[in-house]
Structure 1
Amino acid sequence: MTPPAAESSTSSTAQQPLASNTASPPLHGTLSRLPRPLQVLAVWATASALTFLILRLGAQDTPATPWGGAAPSWEEHMRFWDAGWYNRIVEEGYPDQLPVSADGRVTQNTWAFMPLLSGLASLLAWTGWSFYVRAAIVSILASAGAALVMDRWLSPVTGRRTSLWAVALVWSSPCAAILQVPYAESLGLALVGLTLWLASRGRALAAIPVALAACFARPVGVPLGAALGLWWSWEAACARGWLPPIWFSRLLPGRSPQGPGGRWRLLALALSTCAAALTWPAIAWLTTGRQDAYTATETSWRGADLAPFVPWLTRLGDWVGPHLGLILLAVVLVIVGLLLSAPSLRSLGPVAWFWCLGYLLYLLIFFDPTTSVLRLLLPLAPAGWALATAAGTTRRRLALLAACVVGQLVWVSWVWDFGSVSVHWVP
């Protein structure tokens, strides 16, 4: 997963460590003597093993579900929820005629799921293992790759010790289990992280095929293209003197402006990503003959047409009532504002900050806020590095880690394991 070294410094925006964020003691003991990739993998493996243990212990208390009997085996546990859709892609492919209900609305089908996970799992068919085992292996390998890429990208800014804490926090977060089951979240996180790391190193052209692959792993093309476009606009505005130069150091520190060549390459990456984001909907259109094949399929899960911003008002109103729903929406917006204005997030530099901005805007515009929100927040992994930086002390970081594990216990038992008999939360 590690690309070649960055290009010359004249076109690179490699982030330099900030003195305020890197004043951490060196690593001690056996871990410090390992090569850096093995240090990251050791932390990743420990967190992932704990998640695996939670999944297996939780499975012993899991009641009978639509996917199997009570106390499912590991393989049976991997069949839960959307994992079956990825299997159907392999077994049935994508329909050339969209299924519709009696009232003419498109019903749930495989067009909502990108093909990369299923395709990679199919490459392991020679093993003779079931699809769910193969897809889980792909997910786990991508999870390890994502940890390596994120550390390589952000540790120069936060410091090596803080970055290891961030890996521990992200891979112990409440829905970390999704990173080792047959879902495409691991692939999406690894490919987005690699795209942004390459771009931060001034290798925007090398990032184009990676961004294209990301668009076929998860529906991240729109926020990724938006983030890259916003970053390019920022760079162009600063280069033309439309923004005060001091904004570079005060608002988004930890980087140096790109030269003209770097800006053109960044623009090419942004435009290519935006085009790639439209590729899958275009394929669905050409295959089914219906222009809205992809969006109609995506919105079939919510039972309403695509309407930007509206689902937030509707869903929050359903939760607390239409009047209190407006207050709850205001609280959500305040939380988003506080996150984006946090000094620890801004210190990561414009690449991470614009990605978080683009992704949060994407969720606010298009997302139907359900209990899937925790899973869909995983691409905001750079916030884990910001959180580890802001926590500062080992005691605070341990408290955060404990809170993450408690959240994981709740998520696995009440969401993935179908634990509630009265309220069905979805991952």
Structure 2
Amino acid sequence: MAQLTAPARVGARLPIAARIALIYVAARVVTVVFLVIAASAGGVSDPASALSSLLLRWDAQWYWFVAEHGYPTELPLTDSGQVAENQWAFMPIYAYLSAVVGALFGSWGAGATVVSLVSGYLASLVLFRMLRLRVDESTATWAVVFFAAGPLAGLFHVGYAESLFLLWLFLALWQVLRRQYAWLYLLIPLMGYTRPGVLAFALFLGLHGIVRWVRRRVDPLSVREIVHIVATGALAVVVGFSWQFLAAVATGDPGAYLATELAWRRNWISDAGGGFVPFDGFVQAAGFWFTDWGFGPVVGYVALGLLVAGLVALLLFEPHVRRLGVDLRLWSASYLLYLLAVFFPQSSVFRLLAPLSPLWGAVAMPRSRVWRVGVLALCLVAQWWWIYNMYALGTTYWQIP
């Protein structure tokens, strides 16, 4: 990773796309080394086969199953009569796109890896373009370094939909920052049917519209823009709830999607089949995890409150975050509120923080070389920790990437 210690000087005369490609490829080489070490941790005789298996574990198997078999019209049930884990928890675009690309390479897994890698590069390029609207070139470049080599960089290689979702998300945020709202009519459905999260974007558009209305004297707001903001916000809401509707129509069960999502929660909370209640996941988890760690539920609830207060203070008052502008802070707040409302935190929570990646721009703002190289070193250490724990050791539901 020596090339990444001074990214502002790497290929300085090259086009931006080539410069980002150099950073991205260098970061991918390091991640491959980490993945190979993780795949070989058990003393396997065929590291290549072990690596392939590692890249296609967990959610990747479900996306493959969607591509091969589609979605069930009859929900599978557990021995106790509750809805079991099934394909309705996974959106179709990544699964089927990987199948199309995989047809060129001879397997779905190869297609999934290609889609993830290419999407990761394009997401890195869009992240740079988006951040350049708010920060200088050096800061935007270092933000891409941290993104490409960060703790979650293994996602650019595995058969998960995150890379593709981040591409659509960064494109959508970029267009909002540029006030090019018409692109959202395409990007919102692409986001919504790649992985869950588009309802957070609906909230973001609502808050964005309110802020623009309040600031209309200093940031002129045309009638055309009002129509686009309202219409795309409504589209995001419709797309966000449409998957529940489609699952209900296909299965004949109005609660099919939510029951499917709760099936995963029962791996930790056995009585999670009582129905979905917003924000209940984090509250349950605070009591569950802190009791499991020996502290008791009250400590967990206090820790959850402090966490929420800390995040609010970060987005409102931290000077580097403020310099990213109102819109990226509103997106971060919207997505965090969405996670608090719908998710039960466990080891996958690290992966679900990836849509907050525009905040790397704030991390990259201090221009000290010691700071930036130090952050990069911490990124690589955290990346290895995540890969080792989620893949080399991740053989149970307690370590799901």
TM-score of the superposition, structure 2-length normalised? 0.90
Aligned residue for 2:360? 384
Aligned residue for 2:36? 56
2:399 partner SS: coil
The reply to whether residue 109 of structure 1 matches residue 89 of structure 2 is: no
Structure with greater contact order relative to length (CA < 8 Å, sep ≥ 6): 1
Equivalent pair of 1:418/1:424 in contact (CA under 8 Å): no
CA RMSD in angstroms comes to 2.2
- Counterparts of 1:278-357 in structure 2, within 5 Å, are 278-303=241-266, 304=272, 305-320=275-290, 321-341=296-316, 342-357=318-333
Aligned residue for 2:392? 417
The reply to whether residue 402 of structure 1 matches residue 377 of structure 2 is: yes
Equivalent pair of 1:60/1:72 in contact (CA under 8 Å): no
TM superposition shift of 1:412: 0.7
Aligned residue for 1:374? 350
Which of 221, 227, 233 aligns to 1:258? It is 221
TM superposition shift of 1:263: 2.5
The reply to whether residue 220 of structure 1 matches residue 197 of structure 2 is: yes
Q: Provide Cα deviations, 1:170-191, integer angstroms capped at 9, x if missing partner.
A: 1222221012211000011000
Q: CA 1:419/1:282 → structure 2, altered by over 3 Å: closer, same or farther?
A: closer
1:124 partner SS: helix
Aligned residue for 1:40? 20
- State the AA in 2 paired with 1:362: Y
Aligned residue for 2:235? 272
Aligned residue for 1:144? 121
TM superposition shift of 1:410: 0.9
Aligned residue for 2:3? none
2:71 partner SS: coil
Q: CA 1:73/1:234 → structure 2, altered by over 3 Å: closer, same or farther?
A: same
2:364 partner SS: helix
Alpha-carbon distance in structure 1 between the residues aligned to 2:387 and 2:42: 10
The reply to whether residue 426 of structure 1 matches residue 396 of structure 2 is: no
Structure 2 gap ranges (5+): 1-5, 267-271, 291-295
- State the AA in 2 paired with 1:259: S
Q: Provide Cα deviations, 1:49-106, integer angstroms capped at 9, x if missing partner.
A: 2111111122111478xxx998843322222111100110111110000111232211
TM-score of the superposition, structure 1-length normalised? 0.85
Alpha-carbon distance in structure 1 between the residues aligned to 2:315 and 2:85: 35
1:123 partner SS: helix
Alpha-carbon distance in structure 2 between the residues aligned to 1:322 and 1:50: 40
Alpha-carbon distance in structure 2 between the residues aligned to 1:366 and 1:233: 24
Alpha-carbon distance in structure 2 between the residues aligned to 1:363 and 1:41: 31
TM superposition shift of 1:313: 2.0
Q: Provide Cα deviations, 1:352-393, integer angstroms capped at 9, x if missing partner.
A: 11110110000111110111111000000111111111x331
Q: Provide Cα deviations, 1:325-366, integer angstroms capped at 9, x if missing partner.
A: 122112211331232122222222222111101100001111
TM superposition shift of 1:260: 3.1
The reply to whether residue 154 of structure 1 matches residue 124 of structure 2 is: no
Identity level (%): 30
Alpha-carbon distance in structure 2 between the residues aligned to 1:106 and 1:265: 39
Q: CA 1:71/1:138 → structure 2, altered by over 3 Å: closer, same or farther?
A: closer
Count of residue pairs the alignment pairs up:
383
TM superposition shift of 1:424: 3.3
Alpha-carbon distance in structure 2 between the residues aligned to 1:120 and 1:371: 27
Equivalent pair of 1:31/1:39 in contact (CA under 8 Å): yes
Which of 121, 142, 145 aligns to 2:98? It is 121
TM superposition shift of 1:407: 0.7
Alpha-carbon distance in structure 1 between the residues aligned to 2:280 and 2:238: 26
Equivalent pair of 1:75/1:133 in contact (CA under 8 Å): no
Alpha-carbon distance in structure 2 between the residues aligned to 1:71 and 1:40: 28
Alpha-carbon distance in structure 2 between the residues aligned to 1:203 and 1:319: 44
2:134 partner SS: helix
- State the AA in 2 paired with 1:43: I
Q: Provide Cα deviations, 1:105-128, integer angstroms capped at 9, x if missing partner.
A: 111001000011111112124325
- State the AA in 1 paired with 2:197: V
Greater share of helix residues, 1 or 2?
2
Q: CA 1:180/1:339 → structure 2, altered by over 3 Å: closer, same or farther?
A: farther
Structure 1 gap ranges (5+): 1-24, 240-244, 249-255
TM superposition shift of 1:310: 1.8
1:424 partner SS: helix
TM superposition shift of 1:261: 2.3
Alpha-carbon distance in structure 2 between the residues aligned to 1:274 and 1:107: 27
- State the AA in 2 paired with 1:258: L
Equivalent pair of 1:106/1:297 in contact (CA under 8 Å): yes
